Amino acid sequence: MMPIWTKSGEKHAVTLLKVQDCHVLRYVSKEESGGKTAKLLVGGKNVSPFSKPESAHEIFKEAGVPRKQKVSTFNVTDDAIIKPGTPLYAAHFRPGQFVDVTAKTIGKGFQGVMKRWGFKGQPASHGQTKTHRRPGAISTNKAAKVYRGKKMPGKMGNIYRTSFGLKVWRINTKHDIIYVNGSVPGHTNCLVKVRDSKLPTYKDCNKNPPFPTFFADGDEELPEDLFDEEIFQFTEPSVTFA
Amino acid sequence: RFLSPEFIPPRGRTDPLKYYMERKDMIQRRKVFNIPEFYVGHVLAVTTADPCASDKSKRFVGICIQRGGKGLGATFVLRNVIEEQGVEICYELYSPRIQAIEVLKLEKRLDENLMYLRDALPEYSTFDVNMRPVPRMAHEEIPVNKLQVRMKPKPWSKRWERPKYNIKGIKFELPEHKMKAAQKWSQPWLEFDMLREYDTSKIEEKIRKELSEELEK
């Protein structure tokens, strides 16, 4: 995470996400998948093919791509279908867009009720016998049962969570890095899924994004760094208020 | 040669590419805006842009008591006593609001962290706001001021006599038995702990080479 300054001198914290060897693996049509839209399977980071059996390599062989560590699905409309085997780059996103980021949260193991659900526990002294971090009562007398989904101790973390509506501040096309506002679930160097935001406030935010995606062998020549309009770029002199 | 401490990456499992991108930004900023070489104990004057001030800029003079943070978020704290009120301001080195940093007095102290000046007599933290910059003699060594600071009576904000802080710049006027009792908290095994060793010599060399190449362009 890194600080970033706007032209008015305000500081924001930014997470760096690297797009490492992403390829489209397979196209699944609407009828085949049984959902409402077609799906595209996309694979992430390259990994050695020797730790899995040959049967698991079929998808990758069809697309002509080395084995990937993570495969995720994206729901796509029919006009955004991409041929399997095309690489995806960070320039697919543009600064000023809003994005949802999904990842597995940091695993905390088996945790008690105070850390997992934020219960208050009991006082440390004044006669409490062996009760300082316990949940206390778990149901009422009239209910005569414990409801399903009662908050109790258990394994915490290591589940998929999404942070919605994160602004993209900057894109580096040379190293394929996306600078995304705020924090993102997961530990450092973990695998992350980035999608266009589904929030209704940001429905009309994408002004001419590269559609269906940014093709490296196309005619467009992008500069090494793409900045949002409001970012203070370090090539400018210091900020002054008129 | 001097290498600013915020360039040295901390020990961790982060991808070195992240530190490379930060360093590129830091070098960009240094090309446009001159950040002078300074240590803890120097007296600096910083002018920042401020929308609320009548001249749209604010100037603050103070002694640097601490340099913290790595990368773009590096900070330094300046302390001064103005009208008998101690004031400390934490500035970010790479913030675009800073318009000028001038070094008024070059002087290293015996410690790297002068937080004990909060519990010292106020005369050691007062510096004239309209001080003239002291001219540097030769471009050689920065003088080390071996000043032993006198403290206000206890209680202090932190127990500076304990060996954990390893302070050499205070003239402790405490009785002998209190100084001996403070040594109980010493941890003499720490200097032999191999897991805590972080040898930065090779990293520093690489970064120095990178810096000198980029700044000459």
Q: What is the structure's pLDDT at B215? A: 85
A165 domain residue, yes or no: yes
Residues of B in contact with A2 (CB under 8 A): 18, 21-22, 71-73
B121 domain residue, yes or no: yes
A123 domain residue, yes or no: no
Residues of B in contact with A186 (CB under 8 A): none
Q: What is the pLDDT of residues B149-169, one digit of tens each?
A: 999 998 999 999 999 998 988
B201 domain residue, yes or no: no
Residues of A in contact with B14 (CB under 8 A): 188-189
Q: What is the structure's pLDDT at B201? A: 92
From B32, B71, B96, residue closest to A2, measured CB to CB? B71
- CATH code of the domain in which A12 resides: 2.40.30.10
Contact call for B15 and A11, based on CB within 8 A: no
Q: What is the structure's pLDDT at B75? A: 93
Looking at the fold, whether A81 and A186 belong to one and the same domain comes out as no
Residue A93: closest CA among A228, A185, A221, A188? A228
Average pLDDT score over residue span A74-103: 90
Q: Which band of pLDDT confidence, cut at 50, 70 and 90, is reported for residue B216?
A: confident
Q: What is the structure's pLDDT at B192? A: 94
**φ, ψ for residue A135, nearest 5 deg:** -75, -20
Q: Which band of pLDDT confidence, cut at 50, 70 and 90, is reported for residue A222?
A: confident
Say yes or no: A27 contacts chain B, CB-CB below 8 A.
no
A131 domain residue, yes or no: no
| Domain count for chain A | 2
Looking at the fold, whether A14 and A63 belong to one and the same domain comes out as no
From A3, A241, A242, residue closest to B73, measured CB to CB? A3
Looking at the fold, whether A29 and A12 belong to one and the same domain comes out as no
Which of A88, A120, A141 is the last residue in one of the domains? Answer: A88
Looking at the fold, whether A81 and A181 belong to one and the same domain comes out as no
Name the residue range of residue A32's domain.
Answer: 21-88
A198 domain residue, yes or no: yes
A117 domain residue, yes or no: no
Q: Which band of pLDDT confidence, cut at 50, 70 and 90, is reported for residue A242?
A: low
Say yes or no: A217 contacts chain B, CB-CB below 8 A.
no
Average pLDDT score over residue span A206-234: 83
The B residues from 17 to 36 touching A (CB cutoff 8 Å) are 17-18, 21-22, 25, 28-29, 32-33
Say yes or no: A82 contacts chain B, CB-CB below 8 A.
no
A167 domain residue, yes or no: yes
Say yes or no: B142 contacts chain A, CB-CB below 8 A.
no
Asked whether residue A137 carries a pLDDT value surpassing 80, the answer given is yes
From B13, B57, B95, residue closest to A5, measured CB to CB? B95
Name the residue range of residue B58's domain.
Answer: 33-186
B168 domain residue, yes or no: yes
Looking at the fold, whether A206 and A227 belong to one and the same domain comes out as yes
A135 domain residue, yes or no: no
Q: What is the pLDDT of residues A173-188, one digit of tens each?
A: 999 999 999 999 999 9
**Which ipTM value was assigned to this complex?**
0.89
Residues of B in contact with A177 (CB under 8 A): 17, 21
Residues of A in contact with B15 (CB under 8 A): 18, 188-189
| Domain count for chain B | 1
**Interface with A, mutate which of B19, B23, B29 (most A CBs under 10 A):** B29
- CATH code of the domain in which B68 resides: 2.30.30.520
Say yes or no: B66 contacts chain A, CB-CB below 8 A.
no
Asked whether residue A90 carries a pLDDT value surpassing 70, the answer given is yes
Contact call for A240 and B56, based on CB within 8 A: yes
Say yes or no: A174 contacts chain B, CB-CB below 8 A.
no
Average pLDDT score over residue span A42-63: 90
Q: What is the structure's pLDDT at B180? A: 93
Q: What is the pLDDT of residues B80-131, one digit of tens each?
A: 999 999 999 999 999 999 999 999 988 899 888 899 999 999 999 999 988 8
Looking at the fold, whether A97 and A196 belong to one and the same domain comes out as yes
Q: What share of chain B is helix, strand, coil (3-state, %, to 5)?
A: 30, 25, 50
Average pLDDT score over residue span B195-217: 90
From A3, A175, A239, residue closest to B72, measured CB to CB? A3
Looking at the fold, whether A14 and A79 belong to one and the same domain comes out as no
**Residues whose CB falls within 8 Å of the CB of residue B142, separated by 6 or more in sequence, listed in order:** B39, B106, B107, B108
Q: What is the pLDDT of residues B25-74, one digit of tens each?
A: 999 999 998 898 889 999 999 999 888 777 778 899 999 999 999 999 99
A140 domain residue, yes or no: no
From B17, B28, B51, residue closest to A235, measured CB to CB? B28
Q: What is the structure's pLDDT at A237? A: 86
Residue B101: closest CA among B69, B125, B78? B78
